[in-house]
Structure 1
Amino acid sequence: MLTIFKKEFNSFLSSLIAYIVIIVFLTGIGLFMWVFPSTNVLDYGYADLESLFSLAPYVFMFLIPAITMRTFAEEKKTGTMELLFTRPLTDWDILLGKYLASLALVIFALLPTLIYFFSVYCLGNPVGNIDISGTMGSYFGLILLGAVFTSIGLFASVLTESQIVSFIIALFLCFLFHEGFGYLANVRDTSDFSYYIVQWGISYHYETIRKGLIDSRNLVYFFSMITVMLLATKLVLGSRKW
């Protein structure tokens, strides 16, 4: 697994697309935080990173599929998948190595946003007037969200040889699991049906963690989602139908 992780992560860093998606992510978040009048911190008047944590999930819907779309699709298209299976590696070694490498790149893309945190920290009146523990909790929630989206992206990539198709499938599934249950709940928003349905969505649990409520139910949900998507990917990977 470690061999696959190193290979995939170095491959990401040596490709132009990795830097493009990271730059687009940081530029997009930066514009919303510091430039656009309706969301920028300076006009908002409060020392927090609300813009970052509210907008990042939607940016992740595009960023993470762009990172994961090549993980299996490219291997299948170039014919190197068969070569990979001739090595003394299990399916889980390959799957987890690719998953952790993709997730590491997502976290790597998040690290520069700590500059935004430091800037807001310095802009507080007095300096340091920011909820540090709440901000760290929000970062934790964002990493969990990225971990789920990464598992969805790997599942989409193993389904097809086309990176574009993989990107579209992952984008659709990320949006469906993040927003779809909320829209479904609104159809019958006066019944208990809505209350239970909305909890199936990623957005509900992410927003709960953002409020500082990091309880076992939210953690179980995120880890269960990751496990289910990885098991589905393993099932497709083990079928050897390509």
Structure 2
Amino acid sequence: MLKKIFIVTLMFAFSLSSVFAQDTTTTETTTESEGNKPREELSQNFVDALAGQDERLLISAIEGGSPQVKALCFKALSEKGANSEALLEAINRYVSYGLNAPSTQNSDSMVRYQALQAAKAAKSETSVEYISQMLYSEQETSNIIAAAQALGEIGSAKGVPALLFQLRLAKTQAIVYEVTVALGKIGDQAALSDLIDLAQNDQYFVVVRQAAVDAIKNIKPASGDNGGSSTTTTDDTAAAQ
């Protein structure tokens, strides 16, 4: 009888200690998580305050701030817009931030992502060259998609070669889909052949192939057609004389 009581008491004590151990671990994790919140809120409040002031302060924070602050600054620009030359220059410099670093950092990738969102909102053709350059070396799927969306919104044919590079690379179907949509928005003839091939490729999801079909509909007619009409008119005029 005493032996049974001892065993039951021992089991109860062990269970109690396990509960306390779990509570301690949970408390430590919660404390660590809550400890990061004030820092994040402080950074956000700091950037919000700067966004309401002179743009030079925001540019200064981008140049000298931590990756988190840089990303928040570009997020603010994507929401309020960036029209000045100085802000556009900052955006263009940072769409490839950290790409040439020896080791990739998640924080650097987030800076690029938010800079791309700001470029997408600004819709400045000055960004096309910089976004195109980063597309040749970017590895993060989310950033490739963000770059494709930005080029599609800007709508310049200068972005087509970099988009076709990603289309042919076909890293993921999500990338192929977004690149296809972007090519459709731009509507340049240079993409037509690739889009026709994609529309017939049964290795892709139907939604991707449908995007290719929709993009084909948006491709502008070749300029040679207009040139032919112009030549005929000129010849007819000469004959009449």
TM-score, normalisation: structure 1: 0.27
Instruction: Determine which structure has more spread, i.e. the larger CA radius of gyration.
Output: 2
